[in-house]
Copies of this chain bind each other. A is one copy, B any other.
Amino acid sequence: MKRIAESTVRRLSLYLRFLEEFEAQGHQTISSGELASQGGTTSAQVRKDLSFFGSFGKRGLGYSVSALSASLREILGLGRQWNVIIVGAGKIGAALAQYKGFRERGFKVVGVYDTDSARVGRSLDGVHVKDQRELEGDVAKLKPQIALIAVPAEAAQPLVDRLVKSGVRAILNFAPTPLTVPKGVTLRSVNMALELEILSYALVNADD
């Protein structure tokens, strides 16, 4: 299949959110325009996004909420449980470990690791923090597909290398540093200070 733009995948994910809300409200069908207004985009964009994957609607009618939800879940790979490990049990790692939103969407935290002995042994929402030396062994055993990185910037790249070597194929990085991964491994980064700097730029240039 043709490569799909990340912006498209991101929007599909948003559409799914909204479809679930809509379904809970008992609606049966939804039009591209309604979907668009929630996601802050246009009806043409919605239709184009969906068209990459097939044809899901009925002309004149719109989309079946439940059928489209199911299709999007399928497309996004959410019909299953993903096992996730979190490395780094500081403030951010701990908050992530306890974040309910992950579990609700099929992402199960199966391990939390740290190097600091003061943190090892603590329990975070049912999962207790293990020593980072156990990482390789656990990855081999539990086969988590996704790792979240919440360690200091300087520890992040060596950690990524270890994770990749152990077979992790998808990484979400919260350390404020750019990382590199080999081809075949997907890396995404969330950098909160950077987001604030973009806001700072917007404030300073408010008169554009």
Residues of A within 8 A of B (CB): 1, 3-4, 6, 9-10, 12-14, 16-18, 38-40, 75-78, 82, 84, 91-92, 94-96, 98-99, 101-102, 104-107, 145-146, 169-172, 176-178, 180, 184, 186, 188, 190, 192-206, 208
Say yes or no: A194 contacts B13, CB within 8 Å. Answer: yes
A-B pairs, 9 with minimum CB distance: A77-B204, A95-B95, A186-B202, A91-B95, A170-B199, A77-B200, A101-B193, A13-B197, A9-B201
Question: In the complex the two chains form, is B203's CB within 8 Å of A145's CB?
Answer: yes
Q: Which residue of B lies closest to A197 (CB)?
A: B13
Complex partner residue of A76 from B77, B99, B200, CB under 8 angstroms? B200
A95 to chain B, nearest CB (A): 4
Q: A1-B208, A200-B78 are in contact. Are A192 and B195 (CB under 8 A)?
A: no
- Which of B10, B18, B105, B186 contacts A203, CB < 8 Å? B186
| Assembly CA distance A95 to B90 (angstroms) | 9
CB distance from A173 to the nearest CB of B (A): 10
Cβ B186 vs Cβ A199 within 8 A: yes
**Chain B residues with CB under 8 A of A17:** 176-177
Q: A106 to B17: give the CA distance in the assembly, Å.
A: 35
Chain copies in complex:
2
Shortest CB–CB separation between residue A117 and chain B, in angstroms? 21
Pairwise interchain contact B102-A91, C-beta atoms closer than 8 A = no
A192 to chain B, nearest CB (A): 7
- The answer to whether A102 touches B170, judged by C-beta atoms less than 8 angstroms apart, is no
Instruction: Please give, as numbers and ranges, the residues of chain B lying within 8 Å of A194 by CB-CB distance.
Output: 10, 13-14
Q: Which residue of B lies closest to A202 (CB)?
A: B186
Taking a contact as CB atoms closer than 8 A, the residue among B94, B171, B201 that contacts A77 in the complex is B201
Provide the residues of chain B in CB contact with A40, threshold 8 Å.
178, 180
